Amino acid sequence: MLMNRPLMRTLFALTALAGMTAYAAAADLTAGVDAAPQPQKTEKLTKSPWQVRLRALGVVTRDSGHVNGVAGSGLSYSDTVVPELDFSYFFTPNIAAELILGTSYANINGTGSISSLGKVGKTWFLPPSLTLQYHFTNFGKFQPYVGAGINYTMFYNQKAGSADSLKVKNTWGPVLQVGADYMINDHWGINFDVKKIFLRPDFDVTVGGNKLSGKAKLDPWLIGTGVTYRF
């Protein structure tokens, strides 16, 4: 039996409506997928993570310290200029670790009530320092940085002067740092750097057969300039 025409028209209209609804739902789903936020890419290094610097370093000490039990005693130290080498490793374009290597010496002089001793002695010291730095990368070729870390200073080749014997003891100390590189090209740059090491070793000294001890408050500023090479 053939369907009557009104029923056929009704079925046709329902079929067309269902198809349009399905198409609209599919279009909305596709648009939702396209509009989904894309994961951001993590900033990665595009250069070698290794960097090396060679600097001329001025070591400027603080003239402070004392001999225990000697009222009015004081100490002063000579300043020096020495070569310094450091190596940096960049974890990201902004975060790096730097190992600073260099050695210097200091003449130790009595002041205040022990000024008559003159040059008490001389010691060489090796102050390797490790700092963690933040590098600012939004100034083009000018790339300043700040850092902080730890220092362990070893004293060696110690010689007594007016004293009978001198022993300055190895010690730890914190380090603060600020500096900047000016990059001439992708590899070479010019560097300026200032570090403050809080260095206050204890010492033993024998003067006129009397065994004494004290503290040397060197707290040196390390002021350096030189060249940077980025691998």
What DSSP string runs through 117-146? G-EEEEEEEE--EEEEEEE--SSTTEEEEE
Q: What domains sit in the chain, N to C, each tagged with a CATH number?
A: 50-230 (2.40.160.20)
Q: What is the pLDDT of residue 19?
A: 53
Q: Is 28 helix (H, G, I), strand (E, B) or coil?
A: helix
Q: Residue 107 burial (CB < 10 Å; 0-12/13-18/19+)? A: middle
C-alpha span between 140 and 147 (Å, rounded) = 20
C-alpha span between 211 and 196 (Å, rounded) = 32
How many residues are there in the chain? 231
Q: Is 195 helix (H, G, I), strand (E, B) or coil?
A: strand
Q: Which residues of the chain have pLDDT under 50?
A: 1-3, 7, 11, 14, 17-18, 22, 25, 29, 33-35, 41-42
The token pair at 126 is 């090796």
The token pair at 229 is 């090479």
The token pair at 114 is 């022990």
C-alpha span between 28 and 224 (Å, rounded) = 64
Q: What is the pLDDT of residue 43?
A: 53
The token pair at 194 is 């200032």
DSSP string across 94-123: SEEEEEEEE-EEEEEEEEETTGGG-EEEEE
Q: Which residues contact 87 (CB under 8 A, 6 or more apart)?
A: 50, 51, 52, 98, 99, 101
Q: What is the pLDDT of residue 46?
A: 76
C-alpha span between 181 and 43 (Å, rounded) = 21
C-alpha span between 168 and 61 (Å, rounded) = 16
Cα separations in angstroms, 175 against 129, 184, 203: 7, 28, 21
End-to-end CA distance of the chain: 89
The token pair at 69 is 């039990």
The token pair at 99 is 């190992």
